[in-house]
Structure 1
Amino acid sequence: MKLQDTLDLHIKSAVKALFKSELETVEFQATRKEFAGDITVVVFPMLRVIKGNPLVIGEQIGQYLKDNVDLVKGFNIVKGFLNIEIDDSYYVNFFKHIKDYETYGFSDLMDDKAVMVEYSSPNTNKPLHLGHVRNVLLGYSVAEILKASGKKVYKTQIINDRGIHICKSMLAWQRYGNEETPISTGLKGDKLVGNYYVKFDKAYKEEISDLIAQGKTEEEAKKTAPILLEAQDMLRKWEAGDADVVALWKKMNGWVYEGFEQTYKAIGVDFDKYYYESQTYLLGKEFIVEGLKTDVFYRKEDGSVWCDLTDDGLDEKIVLRSDGTAVYMTQDIGTAIQRIKDYPDVGGMVYTVGNEQDYHFKVLFLILKKLGFDWAKNLYHLSYGMVDLPSGKMKSREGTVVDADDLIQEMARTAEEISKELGKLDEYSEAEKKALYKTIGLGALKYYILKVDPKKRILFDPKESIDFQGNTGPFIQYTYARIQSILRKAEGTDAEISNIILHEKEKQLLKQLEVFPDVIQNAAEQHSPALIANYIYDLAKDFNSFYQNVSILGADKYEDKYFRVALSKTVGQTIRNGFEILGIDVPERM
Structure 2
Amino acid sequence: MNIQEVLSHKVKEAVKSIFGQELPSVEFQPTRKDFEGDITIVVFPMLRVVKGNPVQIGEQIGAYLQEYVEEVLAYNVIKGFLNIVIDDVFYLNFFNTIKETPHFGFVEESKEAVMVEYSSPNTNKPLHLGHIRNNLLGYSVAEILKASGKKVYKTQIINDRGIHICKSMVAWQKFGNGETPASTGLKGDKLVGNYYVAFDKTYKKQIAHLVAEGTDQKVAEKEAPILQEAQEMLLKWEAGEPETVDLWKTMNGWVYKGFEVTYKNLGVDFDTMYYESDTYLLGKDVVEEGLKKGVFFKKEDGSVWIDLTEDGLDEKIVLRSDGTAVYMTQDIGTAIQRVKDHPDVNGMVYTVGNEQDYHFKVLFLILKKLGFLWSNKLHHLSYGMVDLPSGKMKSREGTVVDADDLMADMTQTAATISEELGKLEEYNEEEKQSLYKMIGLGALKYYILKVDPKKRILFDPEESVDFQGNTGPFIQYTYARIQSILRKAESMGIDISNDAKISELHGKEKELIKQLQLFPDTIQLAADNYSPALIANYTYDLVKEFNSFYQQVSILGESNEEKRVLRVQLSSKVAEVIKDAFKLLGIEVPERM
**What is the TM-score with the length of structure 1 in the denominator?**
0.99
Q: Shift of residue 521 of structure 1?
A: 0.4
Query: Aligned equivalents of 2:355 and 2:297: distance in 1?
Result: 27
Aligned to 1:370: 369
- SS across alignment from 1:490: helix
Aligned to 2:63: 63
Task: Say if 1:115 and 1:350, in contact at 8 Å, map to a contact too.
Answer: yes
Aligned to 1:35: 35
State yes or no: 1:347 paired with 2:350: no
* 1:400 alignment partner AA: T
Aligned to 1:272: 271
Q: Shift of residue 359 of structure 1?
A: 0.4
Alignment of 1:563-574 (within 5 A): 563-574=566-577
Query: Aligned equivalents of 1:341 and 1:298: distance in 2?
Result: 26
Task: Say if 1:481 and 1:589, in contact at 8 Å, map to a contact too.
Answer: yes
Alignment of 1:319-358 (within 5 A): 319-358=318-357
State yes or no: 1:152 paired with 2:148: no
Alignment of 1:228-267 (within 5 A): 228-267=227-266
- SS across alignment from 1:338: helix
Query: Aligned equivalents of 2:480 and 2:581: distance in 1?
Result: 15
Query: Aligned equivalents of 1:17 and 1:158: distance in 2?
Result: 58
Query: Aligned equivalents of 1:563 and 1:66: distance in 2?
Result: 28
Query: Aligned equivalents of 2:222 and 2:518: distance in 1?
Result: 60
Runs (4+) of structure 1 exceeding 6 A deviation are none
Query: Aligned equivalents of 1:496 and 1:162: distance in 2?
Result: 62
- How much is the aligned-residue C-alpha RMSD, in angstroms? 1.0
Query: Aligned equivalents of 1:476 and 1:487: distance in 2?
Result: 17
State yes or no: 1:53 paired with 2:53: yes
Query: Aligned equivalents of 2:503 and 2:248: distance in 1?
Result: 69
Q: Deviations over 1:396-454 (max 9, x none)?
A: 10111111111111000000000011000011100100000000000000000000000
Aligned to 1:281: 280
Q: Deviations over 1:64-98 (max 9, x none)?
A: 22233221122221111111111111110000111
Compared CA separation, residues 477 and 437, structure 1 to 2 (3 A)? same
Alignment of 1:33-432 (within 5 A): 33-98=33-98, 100-109=100-109, 111-432=110-431
Query: Aligned equivalents of 1:166 and 1:133: distance in 2?
Result: 21
Q: Shift of residue 22 of structure 1?
A: 2.5
Q: Shift of residue 100 of structure 1?
A: 4.1
State yes or no: 1:534 paired with 2:537: yes
Q: Deviations over 1:22-67 (max 9, x none)?
A: 3222111122222221111111122222222111111222122223
Task: Say if 1:500 and 1:560, in contact at 8 Å, map to a contact too.
Answer: no
Query: Aligned equivalents of 1:60 and 1:563: distance in 2?
Result: 37
Equivalent pairs counted in the alignment come to 589
- SS across alignment from 1:11: helix
Task: Say if 1:305 and 1:321, in contact at 8 Å, map to a contact too.
Answer: yes
Task: Say if 2:96 and 2:499, in contact at 8 Å, map to a contact too.
Answer: no
What 5-or-longer segments of structure 1 have no aligned partner?
Answer: none
User: % of aligned pairs identical?
Assistant: 72
* 2:18 alignment partner AA: L
Query: Aligned equivalents of 2:336 and 2:40: distance in 1?
Result: 47
* 2:16 alignment partner AA: K
What 5-or-longer segments of structure 2 have no aligned partner?
Answer: none
Query: Aligned equivalents of 2:555 and 2:275: distance in 1?
Result: 55
Greater CA deviation, 417-426 or 488-497? 488-497
Task: Say if 1:101 and 1:570, in contact at 8 Å, map to a contact too.
Answer: no
Query: Aligned equivalents of 1:238 and 1:49: distance in 2?
Result: 68
* 2:295 alignment partner AA: V
- SS across alignment from 2:273: strand
Aligned to 2:578: 575
Q: Deviations over 1:520-557 (max 9, x none)?
A: 00000000000000000000110011000010001121
Aligned to 1:13: 13
- SS across alignment from 1:564: helix
State yes or no: 1:23 paired with 2:26: no
* 2:60 alignment partner AA: Q
Task: Say if 1:454 and 1:530, in contact at 8 Å, map to a contact too.
Answer: yes
- SS across alignment from 1:101: coil
Aligned to 1:486: 485
Q: Shift of residue 17 of structure 1?
A: 2.8
Q: Deviations over 1:174-200 (max 9, x none)?
A: 111110000000000000000110111
Alignment of 1:504-519 (within 5 A): 504-519=507-522
Q: Deviations over 1:130-160 (max 9, x none)?
A: 0000000000000000000000000000000
Q: Shift of residue 112 of structure 1?
A: 1.8
Query: Aligned equivalents of 2:360 and 2:49: distance in 1?
Result: 43
Query: Aligned equivalents of 2:562 and 2:281: distance in 1?
Result: 69
Task: Say if 1:306 and 1:316, in contact at 8 Å, map to a contact too.
Answer: yes
Task: Say if 1:466 and 1:473, in contact at 8 Å, map to a contact too.
Answer: yes
Alignment of 1:425-444 (within 5 A): 425-444=424-443
Task: Say if 1:139 and 1:352, in contact at 8 Å, map to a contact too.
Answer: yes
* 1:423 alignment partner AA: G
- SS across alignment from 2:74: strand
Q: Shift of residue 99 of structure 1?
A: 6.3
Task: Say if 2:99 and 2:573, in contact at 8 Å, map to a contact too.
Answer: no
* 1:61 alignment partner AA: I
Task: Say if 1:102 and 1:577, in contact at 8 Å, map to a contact too.
Answer: no
* 1:53 alignment partner AA: N
Q: Shift of residue 339 of structure 1?
A: 0.4
Query: Aligned equivalents of 1:68 and 1:525: distance in 2?
Result: 34
Q: Deviations over 1:187-243 (max 9, x none)?
A: 000000001101111111111111111112221211111111111111111111111
Aligned to 1:457: 456
Query: Aligned equivalents of 1:342 and 1:168: distance in 2?
Result: 33
Task: Say if 1:101 and 1:573, in contact at 8 Å, map to a contact too.
Answer: no
Query: Aligned equivalents of 1:255 and 1:523: distance in 2?
Result: 37
Query: Aligned equivalents of 1:100 and 1:179: distance in 2?
Result: 60
* 2:494 alignment partner AA: T
